[in-house]
Chains A and B, each alone.
Chain A
Amino acid sequence: MALYSRSGRPRPQSGGFELAAWYFMRLSGVALFALALVHFSLQHFVFDPSQQTSTWIFNQRWNSLFWRGFDWLLLMMVVLHGFLGLRTVTMDYLKGGRRTLALATLYLVGAVIFVMGTIVVMSVPLPLGK
């Protein structure tokens, strides 16, 4: 164990969920490298926050199934990656009942955020062609 990544979590030797989660963190990390950086660049470099009114979002930015799908995929990846990451952090610092409570809160917040984001990206009418 002399050589270790020194900032990543060592690959779990147990297999099962922990190993799958370890791999998923890396796969979603690669996806987010593209998804999150493209999203941030669009919102801050290509466009400017001052123009991004709700009308602009629905008539321009989200007037395309591709960009809605892109942002929804980003939401899905960021919720799972962030949730699994915070799960690791929580389990590093808390034990017993407090850990259970914190993890339950985390599950709940992750689910609520995912549902809220999905509702807004899917329910607003697509004004195509306007």
Chain B
Amino acid sequence: MLLRYRGSEGMVAWAFHRISGIAIWLFVLLHVLDIYLAGGNPNVYDDILKFYASTPGRIMEVLLGAALLYHALNGIRIMLMDLWPSLTAYHKQMWYANWAIFVGLGLPGAFIIMRPALGL
């Protein structure tokens, strides 16, 4: 449905922005709760930390980083078009530029996060 309905990049960009935003918000809720425990109950926090440092935890951190990077880059794209509406004519090109930056920064980033889990 996401790819067929009106089909074009603009709508997918919008849907991804919304989905990544909600995902980041959910992580922020979790993250404030865990960091609150670091002050209130350090032993419980240190147990939670073991999950963050585990392989499934690291995979989720890569996904979090991906959501954050997409939301950040697409947010800049939205603001550029808000400031200079004539850029809207190039919204697709800007979206593809976003993906180029996303892959360029994201792949090395994902490698660094996963490296301890891969034993490298």
Q: Are B32 and A75 in contact (CB under 8 A)?
A: yes
Interface presence of A14 (CB below 8 A):
no
Q: Point out the residues of chain A lying under 8 angstroms from B77, CB to CB.
A: 7
Interface assignment of A17: CB less than 8 Å from any CB of chain B = no
Instruction: Tell me the dominant secondary structure on chain A's binding face.
Output: helix
Which residues of chain B (40-64) have a CB below 8 Å from chain A?
40, 42, 45-46, 49, 52-53, 57-58, 61, 64
CA distance A72 to B84 in the complex (A): 32
Chain B residues touching A, range: 35 or more
Q: Which of A6, A33, A49, A113 touches B14 (beta carbons < 8 Å)?
A: A6
Other-chain residue from A26, A49, A52 in contact with B82 (beta carbon distance below 8 A)? A26
CB within 8 Å of A: which residues of B?
10-11, 13-14, 17-18, 21-22, 24-25, 28-29, 32-33, 35-36, 38-40, 42, 45-46, 49, 52-53, 57-58, 61, 64-65, 68-69, 72, 74-79, 81-82, 85-86, 88-89, 91, 109, 112-113, 116
5 A–B contacts from the bound complex (CB under 8 Å) = A6-B10, A6-B13, A7-B17, A36-B72, A50-B53
